[in-house]
Amino acid sequence: MRSGIVDHAIDTSAVLAEVASAHNGASVLFVGTVREMNDGRDVTGMEYTAYREMAERELRDVVREAASRFGTDDIVVVHRIGSLDVGEVSVAIAAAHPHRGSAFDAARYVIEELKQRVPIWKREHYLDGTREWVHAGSASARAEKARSGSD
Amino acid sequence: MTIDVLLFASYAETLGGPRVSIDLEPGATVRDVLAHLRRLPGAERLPPVPMVAVNHRYARSDDVVAAGDEIAVIPPVAGG
């Protein structure tokens, strides 16, 4: 098991290689990248920040939980912070298990819990030069504002 | 007692910086911390019940805070 927050490019092949083992028949690699469009706006880059000590602790907990739930210690997650360009890797998660179902489940658990709990934030930079903090539900919050007619 | 509260991302912008100092009575809770933050300029843009972490763990509103605790107000997270 390993988890970490880094401020340099993530080598996804190395992350995958870390979980390789002769007793595993399945390895899953999830890679999150910066998308060129979000919520209908052209994105030129993303800036990630973290409450680093807490994020590291929370990520470690998530990996331990996944290991216990899905019966494998072969799980690695690395999240990058700092300024990223479109297409760059923000997060890589590798999970391996003797069987594929649990390898998929473990990788899925780590990314879903990460998005719920780990104190990392991102600010999108748009083609028009503006920047905005992103959070779950920003699109629906904006829709709600539009409906209610407030700012 | 004086306690530093860490602020991140949109909250740091909303409340004017990454850290604010507040004065609390001994026995104060997370709820009291938030009540103090509410008096700061910009605080009207905070959600009704923002998440708070004490010593790197998510806290409940009736958790007691002590001098030396690391207290942080956590905006909705957006990793991945």
Q: Where are the domains of chain A?
A: 2-148
In this structure, what token pair is assigned to residue A82? 């700092």
Phi-psi region of A70 (alpha: psi -120 to 50; beta: other; left: phi over 0): alpha
In a domain, B80, yes or no: no
Of B13, B72, B79, the CB nearest to A118: B79
The CATH number of the domain holding residue B52 is 3.10.20.30
Q: Going residue by residue through chain B (80 aa), what tens digit of pLDDT does each one get?
A: 999 999 999 999 999 899 999 999 999 999 999 999 999 999 998 999 999 999 999 999 999 999 999 999 999 999 99
Domain assignment of residue B14, given as a range: 2-74
Question: For B7, which residue in chain A has the nearest alpha carbon?
Answer: A51
In a domain, B21, yes or no: yes
Of A48, A90, A133, the CB nearest to B10: A133
In a domain, B20, yes or no: yes
Query: Nearest 5°: CA angle at A81, between B30 and A126?
Result: 100
The ipTM (two decimal places) reads 0.94
Contacts 24+ apart (CB under 8 A), B68-72: B69/B3, B70/B6, B71/B3, B71/B4, B71/B5, B71/B6, B71/B30, B71/B33, B72/A51, B72/A54, B72/A119, B72/B5, B72/B6, B72/B7, B72/B8
A131 contacts on B by Cβ (under 8 Å): none
Place of tokens 């933050």: B37
Number of domains in chain B: 1
In a domain, B33, yes or no: yes
In this structure, what token pair is assigned to residue B3? 């306690």
Q: What is the pTM of this model?
A: 0.90
Q: By the 8 A CB rule, do B32 and B11 touch? A: no
Q: Is B80 within 8 Å of chain A by CB?
A: yes
At the topology level, CATH places domain A2-148 in Aldehyde Oxidoreductase; domain 3 (3.90.1170)
Q: What is the pLDDT of residues A40-61, one digit of tens each?
A: 899 999 999 999 999 999 999 9
In a domain, B42, yes or no: yes
Question: For B10, which residue in chain A has the nearest alpha carbon?
Answer: A133
In a domain, B79, yes or no: no
- Chain B residues 44-73 with CB within 8 Å of chain A: 53, 56-58, 72
